[in-house]
Structure 1
Amino acid sequence: MDKEFQQKLAKILERNDWHLGIGDVENATGISQTKLRYWERKGYISSLQGKGQNRKFTYSTLMKVYQMKLYLDQGYTLAVAAEKAASKNHIVNLLKRVIFDRYEGTETIDGQMAINLGSPVDDPEHLIFAFVTEDGTDLKIFPTSILKD
């Protein structure tokens, strides 16, 4: 992936300006519109007011509502569920940043698809690759010459 496209894609995802109606959030999470409005009044979530005063929620808020529901189902209070969900959201944002900062493309190595995560900062002669398997993700380091073969 060329760097310019990578940067543009990262900005699009960072802006997170996809909007969903309150009914969409209800359908996706199982949380009623009444509860969503209550959570918003309490400051746990937020929305934008669209045309006709319809609430519009970002994808990030959808994920927060989903996380809150999981914590509530585990017996946490609403306040604690919101706090934990906000913390998870921060981790997700860090992971997105890592992916977009490090992604250099994909390669086929020994018949397996590998994600090129670039060189370690102090070792430009090697590349880090992530191999996703059914059992998880493995990281392996190869000499940069692997791309020339």
Structure 2
Amino acid sequence: MNDFFATLYDGFHPLDLFYIENFSDDMYNSGIFSIIGVIMLSTSLILMASYYYFISNYNGFFKKRFWLIWILVIGLVNFISAYYYSVIAMEDFYSTSSDGSPYTTEHINFSMVNLLWSVIFSFLFSIVLKFKSVQASKTPF
């Protein structure tokens, strides 16, 4: 499972769109890719389901602008969780080193990639979940 999420977070092997030198390797070796990936998928699915089956049924929240705001909220939640867990993982990974973790801005870059994937997966979950919604069956299109 770590390999699947490493492929996503590195931006597909031959291209390596999001690969961060040394940081991505250390994240892979610590095994944190799978934990953050499962959190990203589960929060995206659960929050999109809560939008379509609960939130969209009240006060006109089925409109596209509220759907877009909700997608951005999901992205923000996943940004924060990726940042938090990546910092913790790298501190644990380098706990035996006297210098500590050598990474500073890499966590933000990784968290932005997680935000991007959470928005993409939320959109995909949205396509699947919208058909059973009472009010938002035509949201976003």
TM-score, normalization: structure 2?
0.33
Bigger proportion of residues as strand: 1
Q: Which one has more relative contact order, counting CA pairs under 8 Å at least 6 apart? A: 2
Bigger proportion of residues as helix: 2
Give 1 or 2 for the bigger CA radius of gyration: 1
